[in-house]
Structure formats: C-alpha cells, structure tokens
Structure 1
Amino acid sequence: MLERMMAKWNTPIYAFWTPIPTIGYDDGHRYHEFKCFKKSCSKSVRRFLDKSDATSTGNLHRHTKACWGADIVHLAMNAGNVENARNVLSKSKDGSIAEAFRKAGKEQVTYSHRQHMKMETRAEIVRWVTENARPYSIVKDRGFKNLMKTGRPEYYLPSPHTVSRDV
C-alpha cells in the first residue's frame, strides 16, 4: 500500500519532506507523518488516511513556505516533479537553495534564504550605494538599520568610512 501511495507523491513539495513517512495510528485512525527535511526544523505533518483530504498537500505547502520561504517553494514547484526538485536540492552545497534552483535554469532569483557573510554584506552595500548614487552615510540611517537588523540584531553593517573605502 505504501508503494502505491508513494507513486502518487510526485509533486515537488515532497522534496522538502523525508521521502518515507512514519506510519502510525491515533485513536484508531491510520496516518502518514511527514517530517520536514530542514535540519533546524522538527516540525512534522500528519495526514490521516481515512479522511476525504488524505492526498491533500495544503498543510505541507503551508509549513514549507513558512520554513523554507515562499520564493524557494515557488522555484521548487517549477522543477516539475519531486525527483527533479530533489536533484536540485542535493546540488545545493553551500546552503543557497534559491541559487541552486536558479542554476537549474527555471527562473531568475532576486534573493536567497540565507544571511550574507560579512564580506558579502559589504559587497552588496557597496554595489547598492554606487548603482543608486546613495550617500555612504546611509548605513547609519535609523530606517536603514531598522530594516537590515529586524529579526537579526547581530547582523553586521559596515561604517560609512568602510563603505567609502570599499568603493
């Protein structure tokens, strides 16, 4: 029976979940429990097999978007099927899944789900300052710092002097 079900699990959303679910029973109801594939996540989604929505992927999509990011889910869904999506994910060596999907030629990626390293931050700020004719002092602007550090207060921002030197 599991083999029959696995043949139906072909949508790319399954690439973000362990390939073989746990089979269990809760109050007499049989379920498949899918565990999120992200190392830092311990979330799982149960799908009860005696319900009318036993093949629904709505909860898998909802969690995957919250955990991995809507842009990554969108790119994965363009991979066509679960095997193609898993192949792309397996080639993502540096943790940049969005970059891996971009290399697969599916779509232009505008940002990644991983935080920039210190030198990458400096390079991106220099690029932004020069391409958009921004003053070097913008890195000390209250609004800019608020946008950059919300949710990650330890995020490195260079000084105006460093930005001018790098330019």
Structure 2
Amino acid sequence: ERMKRKWKGYIYTFYHPDPEIEYVAGKGGVPRRVHTFRCFNKGCKQTVRRYLDTGDRVSTGNMTRHAQRCWGEDAVKVAASYGTVERALEKVAKPMKISGKLTTAFAQQGKGKITYSTRQHTRTETKAEIAKWMAQSFRPFALVEDDGFKTLMRTGRPDYYIPSQSTVSRDIKRIFVRTCSRVARFLQEYDGDLSFVTDMWTSPNHIPYMGTTVTFEHEGQLVSLVLDVVQVAKVK
C-alpha cells in the first residue's frame, strides 16, 4: 500500500489497480519478490512483472510497451496528456473498455494516425468498424456478403463474425438517427454564435438541390457541419 500511493503516472491506467505480489526463483534458487501487473483491457491476459530487488523497481518501460501494443499508441498518448492516473482512467481506459453497445464502440474511434491492435475484434467492434467503413467510404452494404470479402476476412480465422447486409443497413441507420439527435442537442445548447448557410445547385442530370450548413467555433477550431441536402421541388 505504501508503494501504491506513489503510482500516480498515467501508465497505471491500463492495468488493474491491485497488482499481485509473487515470489519467483532467482539465481541459486533464491526467491525474488515481484509485482505482477495485469492488463486492464478486456480479453487480454498479459501480465508485466516488476522486480522489487533492483534499482529499476519503479520503472514503467515494459508496462508502456505493452500498453502501446494492446491499447494502441494513440490511446497511450491521450492518457499521457491527462497526466494523472485518475483522470486518464476516467477519460481513456474506462470508455475504451467494451460496453456491448454499438454506438459506444462507434464513438470510440479517434482521429490521427491509424494503429492496429494484436487483439481480434469482438462482434460489437466488428459491427462498428464495418458500419464506419461503409458510411465513410461509400461502400455498398452487399459487400459484406461477397465471397472475396469473406475470404479475406476469414482466412486463418474461419469463425470470424461478419454481419449480414441487413444488419449493416440497420446499424448505419441507427447511428445516423442518434447522431442527428446529438448534433441537434449540441446546437441547441451551444453558447455562442451559429452561422447558417444555404447553397443551391443543379446536378449534371438537371436535378436542383439545396444544401444547408452550420459553422461555429469549438475548442479553438472552426467547425462546419452539413445539416441537410434536399431536392428542390419544381414550381409551376
């Protein structure tokens, strides 16, 4: 407990708060006392040992390297920005643990450099990743039932879960509805100026459209959102 009070660094966020105290055989059979830290990530059984009879008994190098492989370098960097283990645990580790809800998993996706985990996706994560890919890259829903796609996904992992076309369609519609509600609530509660802009144009096949956008400042950044695009009815 005395040593535990000094573990305030962000890296402890990614491990269970109570390490196991173990004794392992050293040279000549002399027992050595170690702290064994268990990874906090769901499904990960990796442990990191720290020997208490050495000068680097408070070193976090091995803990950091495992966290980067298991949680991703971006997650570790974000945790480091919060400084203390308490803030990083609340803002990073807990939200990243799987809650079983598709919208929660979808919201976990960050920006910046893409990193890859050595842990296979859960069913919920797979649904979230495919929904995100389909929506952002404008892919047809039927792609998930293509034999070539299934071969790529299931080679070496024949039991890997792939959602059906109807499931992907339903998930994206659900995400869209909830996202619209979140954007509407955010704009209604926004304490500042909102700039709304409309624009009209005609497509190459002579169909008129009108788009509406909103622009505002958020955390020092200029943000523009497309609120709607509608086809303009003909006026006789």
- TM interval, short-chain normalised: 0.5 to 0.7
Cross-structure match for 1:63: 66
Cα offset for 1:53? Answer: 1.5
Q: 1:94 aligns with which of 76, 95, 99?
A: 99
Aligned amino acid, residue 64 of structure 2: H
Q: TM-score, normalised by structure 1?
A: 0.62
Instruction: Describe the shift of the 1:7–1:16 C-alpha distance in structure 2 as closer, same or farther (beyond 3 A).
Output: same
Matches within 5 A, 1:116-135: 117=124, 120=128, 123-130=131-138
Matches within 5 A, 1:29-68: 29-68=32-71
Whole-Å separation in 1 of the counterparts to 2:122 and 2:39: 21
Q: 1:77 aligns with which of 57, 76, 80?
A: 80
Aligned amino acid, residue 24 of structure 1: E
5+ residue gaps, structure 2: 25-29, 173-236
Q: 2:13 aligns with which of 6, 12, 15?
A: 15
Instruction: Describe the shift of the 1:77–1:97 C-alpha distance in structure 2 as closer, same or farther (beyond 3 A).
Output: farther
Deviations 1:88-118 (A, max 9, x none): 2334563668945x8xxxx746689655757
Whole-Å separation in 1 of the counterparts to 2:77 and 2:154: 26
Report which of the two has the higher share of strand. Answer: 2
Q: TM-score, normalised by structure 2?
A: 0.47
Greater relative CO (CA pairs within 8 A, separation 6+): 1
Aligned amino acid, residue 18 of structure 2: I
Whole-Å separation in 1 of the counterparts to 2:66 and 2:105: 17
Alignment length (residue pairs): 153
Cα offset for 1:37? Answer: 1.8
Whole-Å separation in 2 of the counterparts to 1:97 and 1:137: 22
Cα offset for 1:119? Answer: 5.8
Question: Are the counterparts in 2 of residues 129 and 135 from structure 1 also a CA contact under 8 Å?
Answer: no
5+ residue gaps, structure 1: none
Identity %: 36
